[in-house]
Structure 1
Amino acid sequence: MPRESGNQAAKNRQGSNGIGGVRMEQLEKLREIVNNSDNIVFFGGAGVSTESGIPDFRSVDGLYNQKYDYPPETILSHTFFRRKPEEFFRFYQDKMLCLGARPNAAHLKLAQWEKQGKLKAVITQNIDGLHQAAGSEKVLELHGSVLRNYCEGCGKFFGAEYMQEAKGVPRCDACGGSIKPDVVLYEEGLDGGTLREAINYIRNADVLIVGGTSLVVYPAAGLIDYYRGGKLVLVNKTPTARDGAADLVVQGSIGEIFGAL
């Protein structure tokens, strides 16, 4: 599969006569790629949802730069969940639920492409459920969802609203058991079935669009190694280690870029 040289990728990132500093030629090239395919897979990360007001970990305004007694990756670990549930759920309610967030232009465009028969699946590292809220149906959530929470005693389901309104550590209203969010914490493995399905979609896609992810969190970031199709597109606000392997690199706001297509 032909790829841009590093110099060509750099050239394709330059220019400011389009949307948000993105050249019109880049938008036209991306539009052409989308228009000419009916087998697109989108693989996205935190940058897709930051434009809906949900903080990510690693950006300038992200959670790593806010003041907590522990770094987010410690709080969001399986060990911390077991040992310090009060502090875990305080952080979870304050920073992870984000129930007022609404889908942005990127979520809506992806749902539109799916309805048009162009997009086969959304593979997301996000846990906010915004893709489904926008209307996407085939969504593979690698890291789970805050919208699903289950009692560890009897298995009863609880929605995000119940978790948000709980005082202290949420407890099952049926058996009194502890409730665990259906999200993949640090020290926990990804769901094997979801991972295999994601690999299958990526392996069979003609176009893979990767957006809003720094491609540093593994094993999720390694999924693009399974891609064998003809067009790899990276859309992100900052460079990634995979830019040189892409057919098109578009740097900027994914909501503005997708909204302009």
Structure 2
Amino acid sequence: MSGIQKLRDMIDASGRIVFFGGAGVSTESGIPDFRSVDGLYHQTYRYPPEVILSHEFFMTHTEEFYEFYRAKMLALDAQPNAAHKKLAEWEHEGKLTAVVTQNIDGLHQKAGSKNVLELHGSVYRNHCMNCGKSYDVKRIAEGEGIPRCSCGGVIKPDVVLYGEPLDNGTVERSIQNISQADMLVIGGTSLAVYPAAGLIDYYRGDRLVLINQSPTQYDHNADLLLQEKIGSVFSEV
């Protein structure tokens, strides 16, 4: 039996699917990941991306942070690919209960998914660090320098920077959904980023599917392992 056919059979037998995804889900929509050969970590900047995208750098070099953020982290024209669309379809059919994502690009919602748990936040939400007022992403994308609130405070994206904790409520809801799932599909992630990657340990079922082009440390735990592009796989199921 082919891997795709086995995946189809597992999907047919499931009614509480949870999808856990990373950067590889969005690369086929033209959004670069961080760790691939041509990803952001392999490009040359005055500071490494992991330094720029840290809480400390944001607080001390805010203007330089926004220069990088506008150039490299905002892909507002990107469109959902086959994976995003198929997950939204499963949710609409009542087969998928949640998408747990490490991505901040909003493509799952753009494809129509409703229950999306964004572990690392979203570029579409921004707030004033002084008064808490909310701003949409246009205020960031279309401005220059440091974006400021009407009260004068600095506007910060609601994305989890290095050195910042994950949102407790999002983590708790992710754990709840994963622990209650009868099928867990993991796609487009190296499972190297913690604490996010540790959430999959809460899955107790026997339909663990891992779809990733490169090997991960969890490959031996998978009931089905597909080392292919996730968009290709989802376009066949």
- TM-score (normalizing by structure 1): 0.89
| CA distance in 2: counterparts of 1:159 and 1:55, whole angstroms | 23
Tell me the residue number matched to 2:93: 116
Deviations 1:117-152 (A, max 9, x none): 000000000000000000000000000000000011
C-alpha deviation, 1:201, in angstroms: 0.6
Amino acid at match of 1:79: E
Alignment of 1:98-113 (within 5 A): 98-113=75-90
Residues 1:208 and 2:177 are matched in the alignment: no
Deviations 1:193-217 (A, max 9, x none): 1101101111110000000000000
Tell me the residue number matched to 1:138: 115
Aligned residue among 215, 219, 237 for 1:239: 215
| CA distance in 2: counterparts of 1:245 and 1:155, whole angstroms | 43
Which protein has the larger Cα radius of gyration, Structure 1 or Structure 2?
Answer: 1
Amino acid at match of 2:174: A
Tell me the residue number matched to 1:157: 134
Tell me the residue number matched to 2:163: 187
Three-state SS of the structure 1 residue aligned to 2:157 is: strand
Aligned residue among 1, 4, 8 for 1:31: 8
Q: Which has the higher contact order (CA 8 A, sep 6+)?
A: 1
| CA distance in 2: counterparts of 1:157 and 1:149, whole angstroms | 6
C-alpha deviation, 1:238, in angstroms: 0.6
Give the count of matched residue pairs. 237
Three-state SS of the structure 2 residue aligned to 1:136 is: coil
Three-state SS of the structure 2 residue aligned to 1:216 is: coil
Range 116-125 or range 66-75, more displaced: 66-75
Three-state SS of the structure 2 residue aligned to 1:194 is: helix
C-alpha deviation, 1:90, in angstroms: 0.6
Residues 1:175 and 2:151 are matched in the alignment: yes
Q: Which runs of 5+ in 1 are unaligned?
A: 1-23
| CA distance in 2: counterparts of 1:151 and 1:222, whole angstroms | 31
- TM-score (normalizing by structure 2): 0.98
Amino acid at match of 1:54: I
| CA distance in 1: counterparts of 2:26 and 2:130, whole angstroms | 32
| CA distance in 2: counterparts of 1:251 and 1:35, whole angstroms | 21
Q: Which runs of 5+ in 2 are unaligned?
A: none
Amino acid at match of 1:141: E
C-alpha deviation, 1:160, in angstroms: 1.1
Amino acid at match of 1:210: I
Amino acid at match of 2:131: C
Tell me the residue number matched to 1:4: none
C-alpha deviation, 1:162, in angstroms: 1.3
Deviations 1:90-133 (A, max 9, x none): 11100111111110110000000000100000000000000000
C-alpha deviation, 1:159, in angstroms: 1.1
| Identity across matched positions, percent | 64
Residues 1:223 and 2:199 are matched in the alignment: yes
Residues 1:93 and 2:93 are matched in the alignment: no
Tell me the residue number matched to 2:234: 258
| CA distance in 2: counterparts of 1:121 and 1:253, whole angstroms | 21
Amino acid at match of 2:142: E
| CA distance in 2: counterparts of 1:197 and 1:147, whole angstroms | 21
| CA distance in 2: counterparts of 1:71 and 1:255, whole angstroms | 30
